[in-house]
Amino acid sequence: MPTYRRRRSALFMPASNPRAISKARTLPCDVVILDLEDAVAPEMKDDARGAALAAVAEGGFGPRELVIRVNAIDTPAGAADLAALRQVEVAPDAVLLPKLAGARMVADARAALGDDIPLWAMIETAAALLALPAIAATGDFGLAALVAGTNDLALDLRCRPGSDRGPLLPALAQIVAAARAGGMVALDGVLNAIDDPERLRAECDQGRGWGFDGKTLIHPAQIDAANAAFGPTPAEHDWATRVIALFADPANARRGAAKLDGAMVERLHLAEAERIVALADPA
Ligand SMILES: CC(C)(COP(=O)(O)OP(=O)(O)OC[C@H]1O[C@@H](n2cnc3c(N)ncnc32)[C@H](O)[C@@H]1OP(=O)(O)O)[C@@H](O)C(=O)NCCC(=O)NCCSC(=O)C[C@H](O)C(=O)O
Ligand SMILES: [Mg+2]
């Protein structure tokens, strides 16, 4: 069976903020993203890069996946980020590429970074949306996750997402489809409104409903809502264990479909049930 990793909550923080990095070692998020890009002022880029690499080397993040978001790789700061990461003895779990313009950038990043560190990519430009089929086919370059950059995307599209994100939904659906086609993880964009728990809950449920594996976040207060929404929920876990038991029953050994709670389940549901159980109790 494949191994699954939870990415319900992926918390961004400026790598130039030592207090936030220290706090991240204790927070219940699944992924910590140390940002070298938009959250860092231009004059702090070198310091932030040093702090991010030092934090990775120091460790202490426990089971949390540790990701560094570099600057756009067609900028001097981005090139310097990749050159520094190529030299490190202790690498992050992934490097997140912002402002992806197309599949070529993934190949360029791989060439600059060397072979070892998995790549994740922000989909946050109109160009990236149009290039999604090619980007989905870059698994050979180690691209493992697509992250919706809804702030940049809204600016680039000149749309007004509003509180229901209606104008962004076609793009979000395309990002999920590309991730699924490429066998990649799909993470939803951030909610800038830190003090609006109701909107956060609704947006997490919306992202889960559209197929995302988790949500990127900007504040610790947003973690619990994302963890709850991207589950699996107790009801999903219960359903999954019963689907597994159903098809493990020798009486159903020759059946492709069976009845559970008055509804049909097929063997195609078994893989999803196994994924849910694995996510509920990750290795
Ligand atoms: C938005 C913030 C600048 C607010 O920070 P602050 O004013 O310090 O908030 P609080 O006083 O409420 O903080 C309470 C404590 O929590 C810690 N904290 C706050 N934010 C984080 C965090 N992100 N990670 C870890 N810890 C955090 C504070 O240090 C306080 O701790 P303590 O003193 O011990 O009580 C800030 O939240 C922030 O910087 N957020 C992240 C900003 C960021 O990384 N932005 C870039 C990514 S988003 C993006 O780019 C999206 C994408 O590209 C797109 O296009 O959509
Ligand atoms: Mg962005």
Helix (H) or strand (E) holding 179, with range, is helix 169-181
The pLDDT tens digits along the chain (283 residues) read 667 899 999 999 999 999 999 999 999 999 999 999 999 999 999 999 999 999 999 999 999 999 999 999 999 999 999 999 999 999 999 999 999 999 999 999 999 999 999 999 999 999 999 999 999 998 889 999 999 999 999 999 999 999 999 999 999 999 999 999 999 999 999 999 999 999 999 999 999 999 999 999 999 999 999 999 999 999 999 999 999 999 999 999 999 999 999 999 999 999 999 999 999 877 6
**Ligand 1: does its nearest atom lie under 6 Å from the Cβ of 150?**
yes
Q: ipTM of the predicted structure?
A: 0.99
State the DSSP string of 42-98.
GGGHHHHHHHHHHHHHH---TTSEEEEEPPPTTSHHHHHHHHHHHH-SS--SEEEEP
- The rounded distance, in Å, linking the Cα atoms of 68 and 85 is 9
Q: Is the pTM of this model over 0.90?
A: yes
**Which ligand 1 atom is nearest residue 98's CA?**
53
Domains of the chain (ranges, CATH numbers):
9-229 (3.20.20.60), 234-276 (no CATH)
Q: To test the ligand 1 pocket, which listed residue (16, 21, 23) has its Cβ within 8 A of the most ligand atoms? A: 23
- The rounded distance, in Å, linking the Cα atoms of 238 and 188 is 26
Q: To test the ligand 1 pocket, which listed residue (11, 17, 71) has its Cβ within 8 A of the most ligand atoms? A: 17
